[in-house]
Amino acid sequence: MLNNGHILTAAEMQEAEQHLIANGSSVIALMDRAGSGAADYIWRTAPHIPTLVICGPGNNGGDGYVIAQALLEKGAIVKIVASAEPSTDAAKTAKSLWQGVMLSLEEAEPEMQFVDCLFGTGLTRPVSGNLLKHYHRLSNGAQRRVAIDLPSGIETDTGSRLNEVSNYDLTIALGAYKPAHYLNPAAALMGDRVGVDIGVRSVSQTKLLARRTIAEPGKTDHKYSRGLVAIVAGPMKGAAKLSALAAQRSGAGYVKIFAGSDFESPNHSIVTVPCDDVKQLRAKLADERIGVIVIGPGLGRDSNAKQLLDAVLEIEKPVVLDADALMLLGDEVHRLQGRSSPVAMTPHSGEFAALSGGGESSKIYASVKLAAQSGAVVVHKGSDTVIANPMGDAVVAQQTSNWLSTAGTGDILAGMIAARFTNEKDMFLAAQQGQWLHSRAASLAGPSFSPEILIDHIAKAIQECL
């Protein structure tokens, strides 16, 4: 995996480049590796397609000259359009080696393939005016659009669009993935993402979510050693049932639902514990065999729900807070600070805004900040889920199935994280395992699945982690 899955910001990427140069490389050598690697990939996936490479003034433009020359030498029909003269030594050198046609913005016409080497990590402001007009004319007229490192107009560290950006078929990341490769809106318009290794081996606190090994239960394990997951239900009973079923299929030894006495278990093995008021709940949750509590799915937001949440937060037990529990907590996340047992919060973007007040442009930074403020592991959901811990570590998940955008899948994730926690006793790891299994189960479930079908595929996803 490119740079071992470590995601680098623009500044970290520059440091990585400096490190390589200090160890005997040079910008032109790196550009050569980046450009020829990208050209190989373009040629392999779409040979003999007439291509227009647009080059900007910086090293992204320099990559463009290398790519164009490499394609020309492979036999492609390729032209370059330059927005400005190269401003770096490496880009000047790369341009001096170009042996093909060079056009001005006004002369250039769209070709079948558009290769965007206008701006990469050095973009500092929106692309504007005449250049933006020609960028759209030339990219819109192409049938295949390839972005080198990043589509022009994307902010590297946040994935925000600084100007209107075309949709791409392929984005070739150079050296390491950057936050924008996995954060929306940028990630959603990049098409396929591939990486070219240029020798960068830099460590970052932000990584791509990877499959983690899951241990099978040991010979001496029993239901309590594998963990008792307690789900606190509210008036929307289906949500608690989905959490419970998902916990059961994700490795919990025992799952109990704490609910009003009229609550019916979703199956024969999930036990319901009748609690008709908060006093009873408090007493029954004191059971020391409980390994983790899930509260939020279907909880409601009335005063009764608030009392249930307060009761759970008074108890020193690990807890997964989801959905309504997060809305009830709101901006009082400091209430979670100082707990001796771990907490995970699993907000979607609306819940995240209620918890954090919003205002941060980077989803990674915002998640890390909320984790630090609350002392909790934060699973900031979306098609670009970010998992952060209070120490500043973050893991970014890749979108695997658009079909996950359906009611009930969040309840399932909360139950899965709880079950993994009772096994691993590490909330950050449990959140990563839960997230990975959730999205893998979604891929395995295929199109248009119901939450129940998603749960049915968790075991197959676990199988891949054994």
Ligand X SMILES: NC(=O)C1=CN([C@@H]2O[C@H](COP(=O)(O)OP(=O)(O)OC[C@H]3O[C@@H](n4cnc5c(N)ncnc54)[C@H](OP(=O)(O)O)[C@@H]3O)[C@@H](O)[C@H]2O)[C@H](O)CC1
DSSP, collapsed to helix, strand or coil, labels residue 116 as: strand
127 is in the binding site of which of K ion, ligand X, none (Cβ under 5 to 8 A by kind)? Answer: ligand X
C-alpha to C-alpha distance for 453 and 401, rounded to whole angstroms: 14
Contacts of 171 (CB under 8 A, 6+ apart): 146, 147, 149, 150, 151, 181, 190, 191, 192, 193, 194
Contacts of 161 (CB under 8 A, 6+ apart): 153, 154, 155, 185, 186
CB 115 to K ion: min, Å:
9
Q: Which is nearer to ligand X, 131 or 281 (CB)?
A: 131
CB 362 to ligand X: min, Å:
18
Residues 187-206 that bind ligand X (CB under 6 A): 198
DSSP 267: S
* The amino acid at 133: K
Q: Which of 51, 59, 385, 423 binds ligand X (CB under 6 A)?
A: 59
Binding residues for K(+): 60, 116, 152
Are 180 and 187 contacting, i.e. CB atoms less than 8 angstroms apart?
yes
**Interface map 14-53 toward ligand X (x if CB under 6 A):** ---x---------x--xx--x-------------------
C-alpha to C-alpha distance for 188 and 206, rounded to whole angstroms: 20
CB 112 to K ion: min, Å:
19
Q: Which stretch binds K ion (CB under 5 A): 141-149, 289-297, 311-319, 448-456?
A: 141-149
- 13 counts as binding ligand X under rule CB under 6 A: yes
Q: Which is nearer to K ion, 118 or 319 (CB)?
A: 118
Q: Which stretch binds K ion (CB under 5 A): 114-122, 196-204, 384-392, 435-443?
A: 114-122
CB 435 to ligand X: min, Å:
29
C-alpha to C-alpha distance for 140 and 143, rounded to whole angstroms: 8
* The amino acid at 34: A
59 is in the binding site of which of ligand X, K ion, none (Cβ under 5 to 8 A by kind)? Answer: ligand X
Among the listed residues 434, 365, 370, the one whose alpha carbon sits nearest the alpha carbon of residue 397 = 434
Number of other residues whose CB lies within 10 A of the CB of residue 59: 27
**Interface map 413-452 toward ligand X (x if CB under 6 A):** ----------------------------------------
Tokens of 254: 């025992």
How does DSSP assign 355-392, residue by residue?
HH----S-HHHHHHHHHHHHSSEEEE-STT-EEE-TTS
C-alpha to C-alpha distance for 109 and 65, rounded to whole angstroms: 18
- 57 counts as binding ligand X under rule CB under 6 A: yes
Q: How many chain residues interact with ligand X (CB under 6 A)?
A: 29
CB 64 to K ion: min, Å:
8
116 is in the binding site of which of ligand X, K ion, none (Cβ under 5 to 8 A by kind)? Answer: K ion
- 63 counts as binding K ion under rule CB under 5 A: no
- 151 counts as binding ligand X under rule CB under 6 A: no
Strand partners for 228: 254, 290
CB 147 to K ion: min, Å:
5
- 81 counts as binding ligand X under rule CB under 6 A: no
Q: How many chain residues interact with K ion (CB under 5 A)?
A: 4
Pairing relationship of beta strands 394-396 and 386-388 according to DSSP bridges = antiparallel
Q: Which is nearer to ligand X, 60 or 389 (CB)?
A: 60
Among the listed residues 60, 69, 55, 72, the one whose alpha carbon sits nearest the alpha carbon of residue 30 = 60
DSSP 142: -
Q: Which of 69, 72, 95, 122 binds ligand X (CB under 6 A)?
A: 122
∠ CA 153-191-453, rounded to 5°? 130
Contacts of 446 (CB under 8 A, 6+ apart): none
Residues 80-99 that bind K ion (CB under 5 A): none
Are 247 and 255 contacting, i.e. CB atoms less than 8 angstroms apart?
yes
Q: Which is nearer to ligand X, 30 or 412 (CB)?
A: 30
Q: Which of 55, 81, 174, 232 binds ligand X (CB under 6 A)?
A: 174
**Interface map 377-416 toward ligand X (x if CB under 6 A):** ----------------------------------------
CB 193 to K ion: min, Å:
13
Tokens of 255: 């799952």
Q: Which of 12, 17, 63, 116 binds K ion (CB under 5 A)?
A: 116
Q: Which of 111, 116, 149, 384 binds ligand X (CB under 6 A)?
A: 149
Q: Which residues contact ligand X (rule: CB under 6 A)? A: 13, 17, 27, 30-31, 34, 56-61, 63, 87-88, 119-127, 148-149, 174-175, 198
Q: Which residues contact K ion (rule: CB under 5 A)? A: 116, 120, 148, 152
